[in-house]
A and B are shown apart, each in its own frame.
Chain A
Amino acid sequence: EAQVTQNPRYLITVTGKKLTVTCSQNMNHEYMSWYRQDPGLGLRQIYYSMNVEVTDKGDVPEGYKVSRKEKRNFPLILESPSPNQTSLYFCASSLNSGAGQPQHFGDGTRLSIL
């Protein structure tokens, strides 16, 4: 089954404790992206990757890091999480980045930073 898998689905942690949210897709997609969703603000793009070893900032990259060492994986790293990063996070992928292809989304990761 074609899917985007995120882990963990839920996480409660404390300020400053490094964490990683993993994202994996099994569709051989070139393009992957991370979004955060906050009430009233819709989805905002954090980082995206056009292919292996090619990443770029989205609209809200501060406080986040990503890497794309393999085509299928695109982890999101919070080196020193803060309470304003409490949010619902989504990973998405599409066949390629050309002309806004339809994206496949994971089921989300709800992060609470205390």
Chain B
Amino acid sequence: SQQGEEDPQALSIQEGENATMNCSYKTSINNLQWYRQNSGRGLVHLILIRSNEREKHSGRLRVTLDTSKKSSSLLITASRAADTASYFCATNTGGFKTIFGAGTRLFVKA
């Protein structure tokens, strides 16, 4: 069973617009991470947010975490064509496993 599930499955926006992706999970977590995957490549770590944090920023990325709703969101501001990729959330429950969701495919039109 999947711990993290992203929403929407796919998103198409114009360059310059903001993109928001959501992740819901089922059990209590130690931390939640977001990764990006360009077509045909490995995943690249973007940002990690711990269970006791509510918001985190990194450049044009903003991640929020609501542990009461078991959900997180990733906001990419002022999107660029180069942001076109799949985005995955991954949760860790404190053990050795990290569980990935199915991902959101983002397409940014120039």
Residues of A within 8 A of B (CB): 4, 31, 33, 35, 40-45, 48, 50, 56, 58-59, 90, 92, 97, 99-100, 102-108
CB-CB nearest in chain B for A90: B42
**Interchain CB contact (< 8 A) of B45 among A43, A97, A102, A106:** A102
Residues of B within 8 A of A (CB): 2, 4, 30-31, 33, 40-45, 48, 88, 90-92, 94, 96-103
User: Hey, which chain A residues are within 8 Å of B41, CB to CB?
Assistant: 107-108
User: Hey, which chain A residues are within 8 Å of B90, CB to CB?
Assistant: 100
The tally of CB-CB contacts under 8 A between chains A and B is 62
Contacts A42-B2, A99-B30, A108-B42 given; indicate if A50 touches B102 (C-beta within 8 A).
Answer: no
Q: B100 contacts A42, CB within 8 Å?
A: yes
| Chain B min CB distance to A63 (Å) | 19
